[in-house]
Amino acid sequence: QVTLVESGGGSVQAGGSLTLSCAASTDNTYIQYDIAWFRQAPGKEREGVASVSRHGSTAYANSVKGRFTISRENGKNTALLLMNSLKLEDTAMYYCAADLWVGQEPLNDRMYKFWGQGTQVTVSS
């Protein structure tokens, strides 16, 4: 069983920055998980934002490339999402997700079994 806890959401003006944190608690601390961030805005489908594999490989949605950076602590199931140059359209509920192996589709939400409760990010003008 994996429990994911997100933190770091909040309100920020356009152009500002926020850092989200995802901490995964597991029964076996030696097992590493692939971790990703997804977001869902009101009336829109959930979309993949960024992912980091247990080996450190990263993937990003085109809409956030160059602005967001995902990283993880070595040997830990903790991932950070640094969000710079935030835009109004980045406003959404952000969810952390994890699974043992997501293969070639790291931004596909159907590949993830474990999900956090979400943290709200609001960008205002």
pLDDT, position 27 = 82
pLDDT, position 1 = 84
Single-letter amino acid code for the residue at 44: K
pLDDT, position 74 = 77
Over the chain (125 residues), what is each successive 10-residue block's mean pLDDT? 94 98 87 95 96 94 98 89 98 97 92 96 97
pLDDT, position 29 = 75
